[in-house]
Structure 1
């Protein structure tokens, strides 16, 4: 046997049939996907025109034999519930939410019983007897009501099975196992209806259930079928090898092989192969490594030629990380696999809508108030944001600082009437059916907006259709039942059923990079193959699997257990390796965590049974990580930057902008050169800078009536009376419509009151101790032009001073700080390095105020300093120059000259075109 692909060999055999046999031939394959590859193999080998034989999947073949239609899983669950309601007394009736918890498992057991043609009554009676024994007591019955109900459940299993079977059959419907049982029952009728030249070719099967075995053996026995297996002879000869577990049994047990040879064994596994076992941390690491491998294959010219390349995902959730990790050159790209619908944007959108409305109802039944985060999540959703003109609404929420938004207010924010906006935010106050109909309309509307030209748009439409289908199944259920459960129950039902929904991606399989799941790879051969998630629990999938039938009962009755499941995975794994030349097996090296597990036993097996021509390597690889997390940013000063700096010099460098440059020149570049503001967000809790703004404005308004007057105790008492009202006004002005009456914001409100109150107490104590205080300015804007021979042009220094006062005849400039500042932070021993030391930036800032106010000081002595609301016990903390024998707090000409020299040096650095803006880390 040569090493052509299995489907190529099938095509060769098919073309050897005579014309009469070919006209009646039906080729039955394990899945639909292989059909396209087989047709392509036939086309490549044909030298004449022929009518293709009929090529179908085993499910289609079985369905045709049975005469029934297989129901969708969600549809079946609702149908089962209708039957359950009819056959259960009202006192014992469970809600759909409770029912679905056990019904999904029970239907799966019905499937297995029927596919393996077992007597259901025998199984259910066995289970009932086991349950009775488990609750039997020597001392007589001591059963609680809960245990009695539990035993009643087991007694009813035969009733549920037969009633469901009967009702479905009457309607021409069935679940998969039932369809298989009916197809076996119809074998004789199907045989009588066959035409003389009808012939069946079963190709590429491995693990057959009892019904499939019965059907294939039946057609083999009457001489109108062939069966072609795909197995390596060395694997088949190994009696302990799981990959050949099923085929060995067929070879030894089927009467057909009592006088025939077991044909179609290859010898491809022993041929030269490069097998690289690669361990890497986490699933994301596997995606990155797979992307690197594909990039290397592209660079070598492998992809794009006749070589076939595939990535097999052992874990379906790895699809999206993999797509992000693939290089841009990886086109065409074809995805063929099932993907959990619950993880897709439409399903996530519906879940967010449930949370939005249920939170609104729970918060206030009468007013229907939305939480701002729920609203923003909806408006920023990728299926909503492009189609709903929501920018004005989002800006309003952020600008007004809404934390909770009444329904009427949200509707009024819409820039113009929009059907999608209404469908999203109109009240859910008319019951579950109305909600479902609204969701169906929403999905229909979104479909109209979506295009279908690009791959991304087609994928989005497939996701949207899956969600639309489920919503409409729920509508049918609610219309039939006329049920009135609350919205919380509806959400749980949606969640339960969405876990059963799956989106099937079907790409163009004949060219490009193929991405598929394990089952989608059946019958297909590739030259280069990457298999991910080679860990226990993923590959093979482990001992999991919900069932009411215990392991020992399954073994006794011939139902598949985890042993058979492992054998199925083993077959698929070795089949993928069979004809591949370059094989990359990726696994997660982490043994702990959500997506972790031990290295797959298949990898150990490959190493142990290494063939002479196998080049096998094992390595631990990490996704490429740069040696430096990020380069230190440097931005040169272009002509436009220099022009912008000149504009700032004319308007005025503020003290805060200068200290901002000292902290990080890049931030200065963003804020002052590019004029980029920080992104505004809703302040759910009051930020420190907002609290500072409120305290500053409160003190300004309290003291304004007393400007240029000698402050008295009566004036302070008047201020104290108005503290609460003034702070409340400032909160409303600055924090706008944010919630301030509870939670952290109420605490912030009380903190602001305490800071202002303590400050006024400090002022009162100073006055009572004899200080004479006259407030000259509040929030005063001042500036001064700085000229120096070293500067290229005069530079304006300007900014706002919080408070200027005369205290005991001395001019004092006060800067309020809501953060904590200590007296030592305002003390200076040496001028050296002042403009580079971020710890002393406050000194640089307050001296700028002294520099700006020097001219209008009218010759008075000046002190500049800080009042820290978190350190009011220190009072006013002036700038202090520490000399050997004295602490100087008055800002003298000498001090200003030293400061001015440092200021000029700093400005020369900022204005120097040769010195780039360099990031500080």
Structure 2
């Protein structure tokens, strides 16, 4: 395989040798020029003066008096002109979105040399319009007429009328905008191109800083470019060489050939580059294509590494000189995964695309800072920050490096106190955190704010680097630290440049400033150091123009990614774009087709990787290009298809058991008499449900990570309800409660509101001393609590009058199980009432459940997923209450809030018979209870998983067990 640029270099060297430096070569991109120079060096075998190398954009810049303008600065200028012409009070924030579209549209209008007055005119008379468009074809005029007939403002159609009113000012805006830029001697790219083209059309004698110019590998020429090339051709100083040798590109049925015929006809080459090149024996061997489906984006990168290793092993790739192998990334987000996947045998790597600043760690931190400022709150006359934004910043690695201890303290403070907003006074006294957590009211403050943060982090990274160097500590991430500091420097420059650009803007929101900064950063990248003319080439699609490789690995060969399916916003509707000859999606498709087919035309081995996943917007569909190769050009290729699959089937997990080793037994001893831990009714229920769950929670003390409760979850709801009932009945301790008392309590809404606000302050907001009126969702939850409390009071009337004994009755005692075993046991009874001579033991449950059971054995039956565990819990409470208060009648009750509105009776029943005295069941209950406790402490019985997998559905340790 002889690359196109090599043949071109050989051709010109053979013809011009030592005078080659008098030529100027123009390429689509810089990378092609670098390779061309390399080939010249290889062919000559000696030093020689290089010809001038330019890109097509650089050529226009040389010939134009204008300087390329900064995009943000041009948007500001465009806004000022718009405000003056339309006399609108629209803010820059609102203008920005469609201002960007207008800038792109003006760019297209100029590159394609469109008569802007005709395009943006106020259409009133279609006949006069057609008369002015004699230079357009009938098909174009028909498309334009159809559009305007549809958009002529019908009576009462405000939308169409508004469209026409807006359309009327566009030509004035276009003209004024260009005039202002002309005065400043700046231009957007299209304006710069048009200026050069119009001067050539006017037969102006331009000064050319070259005598002979060669255009190489161009394809999709705009009218402005075409005019310049015609001008240079007519002056006899231009030559043209097109990379159209490929049978795919020259196939007129292929979209890749869209511009071929016209370009070859208008701009023929002076000579064939084959004349001075030794003829090659035609290769009979077919090109090989291997299509590989991978169900992962990162998996594609890893597979690319595997392919490279296979090429090295087969001798198709020299790891010391891999310049003939390229990895192409239509999705540039895969750059870092690809770099990590490259085999260590390959020492030299050249990344032509750089690493986008927007993907850096500092960029993500700035995004978090922007979110922080967008979500400012007010709390207690202080500025407050939304906890999610605060936590995102505190978890960021750059903050962890710079303020680790203070960040950890603040995170713990937020979770421990359930702080949904954090005030300025709660921020720890650390210089970086004090810099970050301050409100920005005006956009003019943002630049200094960001610069201060960037300087601090940069200095901290520098200190860490110097410390490691001074202490001679091994640092495997030295280069990543240096790269991060380079990102910070580039970000600092971007902030400074944006601030200077926006100097003329009078009004701007903080949010819009951050959006503009993000837009600036999106177009910046930090180049990787590498060998540009040796080693493995990693590049984006546009960097491949005019380059050829023997081994190609193309990632993301998915439809919609390559070719890219991206609709760009435009103020010019499709029909008008088509009618006036402006670029549409058809141009984009033809351009991508040319890049693809030209790229693969000289490769020997082509590997195409695509993502097979079908989730969210991903279809898992292979690019249309592969199907075209498979069904239209299959005579040229040996094609192999395969899909990589991963075994994701659930393995047959062996049951997990935890033997009672000496270490486990020591942990169990802590629950025995004399130890410092206690069993409870809930732990006993947990053991019966799943012994392994008991082990994880009671012995290993594992639990879910505590998080901020932004909404009132079931657990918090239950705590609030318990607190309300305790506070309502507190003043009646030892007193008789009558039906009239309960009615009065239910009607006293002001009192209930006060109690609800206090309960929220203590248990939800974690700020007991500052109750406040509830708002929004919290108000609604408060009203739901009020309804439950009132219905509970109504339900209590069926037992009134009764004597209220107390709430949250706590017991803490040693329970003798057997001669050799006594355990610590504790609990808290929600409420105790005295009715006549008996005591009612009450337990509140926020969910639903049963108050009836079959027999005592059912309470301890671990084989049932619907075991009445709440009844067992109230039995345990009654048992220990009876031990402390003997010779009393005790009957249990369960208040299920979800059932309390349905004529609910809270009394516990056995076989639907109300329990009048629970002590009748104590002997049998104690027998089962003691057996359960002995099993827990039996060293020969391990902790095992439950056999009832329904019990695992909501278990905290479900993933640990693999259930």
Instruction: State whether TM-score is above 0.5.
Output: yes
User: Per-residue deviation at 1:167?
Assistant: 4.1
User: Per-residue deviation at 1:572?
Assistant: 0.6
Match of 1:766 in 2: 799
Deviations, residues 409-442 of structure 1 (Å, cap 9, x unaligned): x121121152x4344443334x332345534544
Instruction: Assess if the C-alpha contact under 8 Å between 1:828 and 1:882 holds in 2.
Output: no
Instruction: Assess if the C-alpha contact under 8 Å between 1:810 and 1:861 holds in 2.
Output: yes
User: Per-residue deviation at 1:473?
Assistant: 5.1
Match of 1:822 in 2: 850
RMSD: 5.1
Instruction: Assess if the C-alpha contact under 8 Å between 2:851 and 2:871 holds in 1.
Output: no
The answer to whether structure 1 residue 688 and structure 2 residue 711 are counterparts is: no
Partners in 2 of 1:203 and 1:464 — Cα distance?
38
User: Per-residue deviation at 1:519?
Assistant: 1.1
Which deviates further from its counterpart, 235-244 or 322-331?
Answer: 322-331
TM-score, length-normalised on structure 1? 0.80
Match of 2:827 in 1: 799
User: Per-residue deviation at 1:574?
Assistant: 0.9
Residue 540 to residue 832, structure 1, CA distance change in 2 (3 Å): closer
Which deviates further from its counterpart, 95-104 or 629-638?
Answer: 629-638
The answer to whether structure 1 residue 438 and structure 2 residue 449 are counterparts is: yes
Which deviates further from its counterpart, 602-611 or 667-676?
Answer: 667-676
Partners in 2 of 1:805 and 1:159 — Cα distance?
85
Partners in 2 of 1:831 and 1:366 — Cα distance?
55
Instruction: Assess if the C-alpha contact under 8 Å between 1:881 and 1:889 holds in 2.
Output: no
Partners in 1 of 2:961 and 2:735 — Cα distance?
49
Secondary structure in structure 2 of the residue aligned to 1:525 = coil
Q: 1:426 aligns with which of 438, 447, 452?
A: 438
Secondary structure in structure 2 of the residue aligned to 1:168 = helix
Partners in 2 of 1:460 and 1:628 — Cα distance?
41
Residue 895 to residue 89, structure 1, CA distance change in 2 (3 Å): closer
Q: 2:684 aligns with which of 658, 683, 687?
A: 658
The answer to whether structure 1 residue 608 and structure 2 residue 631 are counterparts is: yes
- 1:12-51 maps to which residues of 2 (within 5 A)? 12-13=10-11, 16=14, 20-38=18-36, 41=39, 47-51=45-49
Match of 2:69 in 1: 71
Match of 1:254 in 2: 267
The answer to whether structure 1 residue 231 and structure 2 residue 260 are counterparts is: no
Instruction: Assess if the C-alpha contact under 8 Å between 2:369 and 2:436 holds in 1.
Output: yes
Deviations, residues 572-605 of structure 1 (Å, cap 9, x unaligned): 1112212333334455778996455976442332
Partners in 1 of 2:149 and 2:721 — Cα distance?
75
Deviations, residues 653-705 of structure 1 (Å, cap 9, x unaligned): 22222322344455434433333343222223333323333444455566667
User: Per-residue deviation at 1:606?
Assistant: 0.9
Which deviates further from its counterpart, 687-696 or 318-327?
Answer: 318-327
The answer to whether structure 1 residue 396 and structure 2 residue 413 are counterparts is: yes
Match of 2:289 in 1: 275
- 1:44-63 maps to which residues of 2 (within 5 A)? 47-63=45-61
The answer to whether structure 1 residue 111 and structure 2 residue 134 are counterparts is: no
Match of 2:305 in 1: 294
Q: 1:479 aligns with which of 482, 485, 503?
A: 503
The answer to whether structure 1 residue 627 and structure 2 residue 623 are counterparts is: no
Deviations, residues 752-785 of structure 1 (Å, cap 9, x unaligned): 45545555555554343xx7x5848852222334
Q: 1:415 aligns with which of 400, 421, 428?
A: 428
- 1:384-783 maps to which residues of 2 (within 5 A)? 384=399, 386-388=401-403, 389-405=406-422, 410-418=423-431, 420-429=432-441, 431-449=442-460, 471-472=495-496, 474-481=498-505, 483-485=506-508, 487=509, 491-492=511-512, 494-495=514-515, 498-499=518-519, 501-504=522-525, 506-507=527-528, 508=530, 515-534=538-557, 537-541=560-564, 544-547=567-570, 560-586=583-609, 594-596=617-619, 600-612=623-635, 614-618=637-641, 621=643, 624=646, 626-628=648-650, 634=656, 636-637=658-659, 639-649=662-672, 650=675, 651-665=677-691, 667-700=693-726, 709=734, 711=736, 713=738, 728-735=757-764, 736-737=766-767, 741-759=774-792, 762-763=795-796, 765-768=798-801, 775=805, 778-783=808-813
Instruction: Assess if the C-alpha contact under 8 Å between 1:815 and 1:846 holds in 2.
Output: yes
Secondary structure in structure 1 of the residue aligned to 2:548 = coil
Residue 821 to residue 9, structure 1, CA distance change in 2 (3 Å): same
Instruction: Assess if the C-alpha contact under 8 Å between 1:355 and 1:374 holds in 2.
Output: yes
Unaligned 5+ residue runs, structure 2? 130-144, 466-476, 947-956
User: Per-residue deviation at 1:630?
Assistant: 9.8
Residue 767 to residue 802, structure 1, CA distance change in 2 (3 Å): same
- 1:187-198 maps to which residues of 2 (within 5 A)? 193-194=209-210
TM-score, length-normalised on structure 2? 0.77
Match of 1:175 in 2: 188
Secondary structure in structure 2 of the residue aligned to 1:781 = strand
Instruction: Assess if the C-alpha contact under 8 Å between 1:780 and 1:803 holds in 2.
Output: no
- 1:119-138 maps to which residues of 2 (within 5 A)? none
Partners in 1 of 2:525 and 2:281 — Cα distance?
34
User: Per-residue deviation at 1:205?
Assistant: 2.5
Aligned length: 891
Instruction: Assess if the C-alpha contact under 8 Å between 1:692 and 1:817 holds in 2.
Output: yes
Residue 920 to residue 446, structure 1, CA distance change in 2 (3 Å): closer
Secondary structure in structure 2 of the residue aligned to 1:839 = coil
